[in-house]
Amino acid sequence: MGRTKQVSAIARQDRIGLLYVAPFFVHFLLFGAIPIVFTTFLAFFNADMDLYYEFMDTFDPGVLGNAFIGFDNFRELGTDPYFWLALKNTFSIWAISTIPQLIVAFGIASLLANPNLRASVFWRTLLMVPNITSVLAVAIVFQQIFDRDFGMVNTLLHYLGRGPVEWTNETMPSHVAISMMIDWRWLGYNSLIFLAAILAIPKELYESASLDGASRWQVTRFVTIPQLRNTITFMVVMGTIGGLGLFVEPLIYGGSYDGGANNQFLTMTLYLYKNAFLNMRLGYGAAIGVGITVVVILVSIVNFLITRRIASEDSK
C-alpha cells in the first residue's frame, strides 16, 4: 500500500507540473506551430488578400482552386535581387551591431562584477533603462543625433574637420546608425546576462589562477571566457535570431516600407511585410518567411558546429 501511495503521489505531482507548463505549449501551438505550418502551406499558392479571407471563412480547399503554383514562389525568391539585397543588408546590420555589442557588454559586466564597486545595484538598474524605452522614442532621438545638417554626430565631425555624413542616404552610414540604435537598446540587457554568468563562476578557479601568478588578462582569457562559453553561444544565437528578424528599427529610422532611396534600410522582414501586406502577395510573402526560417536554421547550424569545435579544442 505504501508503494502504491508513493507512485500515486508522484503521478499527481507530474500532472500538476504538466498543468503549470501547459500554457506555454498552448501559446506555442496557437502562435508558433500553427502559423509556421500555415505559412509554409500558403507559400505554394498564388494567394492574395481576397483569396486568403475567402479561404479563412470557409476552410474549403476547393477555394484555392487554380491558385496552386507549386515551387514557383521559391523559384522567384531564388532569383529576386531585392531579397538577396535584403539578406545582405540584414547580415551587415547584424555584424556591425552584434559583435561589438557583445565585446562591450562583456567589458561592462566585468566592471560590474568587481566586488569593490560602489552602488552596484544602481548601475545594474540603470543599464535596463534603454531596454524598457519605447522603440519609437529611441528612433526619433537617433534621427536627431544622426541628422545630416543639425545632428550631434555631424556637428562633432565638423569640428574635427570632416564633412557631413549622409546617415540616412548612404548604405554603410545608415547601417551604422541603426546598429548604434540597437546597441544602445540591448547593451545593458546583454551586460546583465554576462554579469550573471560571471558571478556564477566558482571563486576557487580565480583563487587558483591567482596562486599560479596569472595576470588579469590571463585570468580573463583562460578562466572567465572558457566558463562563459555556453552563455556566449546563447547570446550569439539569440542575437542572430533577433538580427535576422530586424524590422522596427529600419522601418522607423528609414521612415518608409520601401527601404530608403537606395534600399539601404531594406531587411528581410521588412521585405516580407512589403510583399505580403502592401503588395498583397501573401503567397510570395509566405515564401520569403520560409526563406528567412531556412537562413536562421543554417546560421544556427554553423554556430553550433563552430561552438562544438571550440569546445573540443578546449577540452584537449
Highest mean pLDDT out of 127-136, 230-239, 281-290:
281-290
pLDDT tens digits along 154-172: 888 888 888 788 888 888 9
How far apart CA 64 and CA 38 sit, in angstroms, is 14
How far apart CA 248 and CA 137 sit, in angstroms, is 12
Report pTM: 0.81
Task: Give me the CATH number covering residue 80.
Answer: 1.10.3720.10
Q: Which residue has the higher pLDDT, 230 or 10?
A: 230
Q: Where are the alpha helices (DSSP H) in the chain?
A: 2-28, 34-42, 49-58, 72-78, 81-112, 120-127, 135-145, 152-159, 171-199, 203-211, 216-219, 225-227, 229-244, 248-254, 268-273, 282-315
**DSSP 8-state assignment for residue 164:** P
Domain count, the chain: 1
Predicted pLDDT of residue 8: 66
CA atoms within 13 A on the CB side of 222: 13
pLDDT tens digits along 94-141: 889 888 898 899 999 988 888 888 888 888 888 888 888 888 888 888
Q: Could you give the C-alpha distances from 297 to 7, 85, 189, in angstroms and in order? A: 41, 19, 24
How far apart CA 101 and CA 89 sit, in angstroms, is 18
Find the domain containing 100 and state its range. 43-315
Kindly state whether residue 3 falls inside one of the protein's structural domains: no
Kindly state whether residue 305 falls inside one of the protein's structural domains: yes
For residue 83, what are the contacts with CB-CB under 8 A and spacing of at least 6? 77, 268, 271, 288, 291
Residue 315: pLDDT band (50, 70, 90) is very low
Residue 307: pLDDT band (50, 70, 90) is low
Kindly state whether residue 15 falls inside one of the protein's structural domains: no
Kindly state whether residue 88 falls inside one of the protein's structural domains: yes
Q: What is the mean pLDDT of the chain?
A: 82
Residue 14: pLDDT band (50, 70, 90) is low
Kindly state whether residue 275 falls inside one of the protein's structural domains: yes
Q: Which residue has the higher pLDDT, 182 or 115?
A: 182
How far apart CA 3 and CA 1 sit, in angstroms, is 5
